[in-house]
Amino acid sequence: MPEQNPDTWSLIIDLDDTVVDLRSPWVEWIERHFGIFLEGENLTNYWIEKCVPPEIGEKVYGFLNQKGLYARLNPLKGAVEALQHLNELGYDIMIATAYVRDPDSAADKIRWMKQWLPFIDRNNPFLCHRKERILADCFIDDSPEKLIKYRGAWSFLRQEPIIMTIDWPYNRTPEVDASIDYRALDYDDTVTAWKGMVQFIKQRLPMDCVRERREARGSH
């Protein structure tokens, strides 16, 4: 677990479909290859193979197997600007992301972060699946499973982490709603979504009282 700086708030932020626009080009690729159009509201399952007919299924992951995929991906609108603003305010931003099916994607993701997020400390990217093992003051992800697990992992703390997500059809579940503190609307307007998350962070984790609030953290 990374050591926390007592003079700032730590933020763990997912990459894919939180900062990187992965799903839009993926949906376009599926339409070109299989003739299936998955508009936003049809993405009702995080596992996209479950949003297509069974005969196609895992063939959709051919998109993720492309060499150099991340070099062609853009940020979600508003994401880079929001993170840069939080960084300038002094928040400690860490990126936690899993590599996808192509093992080279780990290096691709690091290169993407160097290009688009050069202001983030080079020691702050974490390539991992079990994000709930990293304690931070705030956790942002789009995966229902990871949001729920993160809440469960740290629910014993007197001051639990703030958990947020961008609203996607696939994370609209009662279990997710019970696990998060803020749902940013929405995937179709990520500029507004990120502005909302930044405002929520500044309200709940103000930089002028870090030490005071951190001392309140402890077990029940």
Q: What is the pLDDT along the chain (220 residues), one digit of tens a residue?
A: 555 666 799 999 999 999 999 999 999 999 999 999 998 888 999 999 999 999 999 999 999 988 889 999 999 999 999 999 999 999 999 999 987 666 777 889 999 999 999 999 988 999 888 999 999 999 999 999 999 999 999 999 888 999 999 999 999 999 999 999 999 998 999 999 999 999 999 999 999 888 776 666 554 3
SS3 category, 133: helix
All domains of the chain in start order, with CATH: 10-21+74-214 (3.40.50.1000), 24-71 (no CATH)
Q: Which two tokens stand for residue 109?
A: 């993701």
Q: What pLDDT is stored for residue 85 in this prediction? A: 97
DSSP H or E segment with residue 97: strand 92-97
CA of residue 23 relative to chain centroid, distance: 13
User: Angle, nearest 10°, between helix axes 190-204 and 79-89?
Assistant: 20
Q: What pLDDT is stored for residue 128 in this prediction? A: 87
Record the pTM.
0.92
Q: What pLDDT is stored for residue 219 in this prediction? A: 42
DSSP H or E segment with residue 217: none
DSSP H or E segment with residue 164: strand 162-166
Task: Tally Cβ neighbours within 10 Å of residue 15.
Answer: 23
Pairs from 116-120 (Cβ < 8 Å, separation ≥ 24): 116/19, 116/75, 116/80, 117/19, 117/80, 117/83, 119/83, 119/84, 119/87, 120/83, 120/87, 120/93, 120/94, 120/95
Residues 6+ apart with CB under 8 A from 216: 158, 159
Q: Compute the Cα dihedral for 170, 50, 41, 25 and give only its sign.
A: positive
Q: What pLDDT is stored for residue 67 in this prediction? A: 86
CA distance 120 to 111: 13
Cite the DSSP H helix spans in the chain.
Answer: 23-34, 79-89, 105-116, 144-153, 174-179, 190-204, 210-214
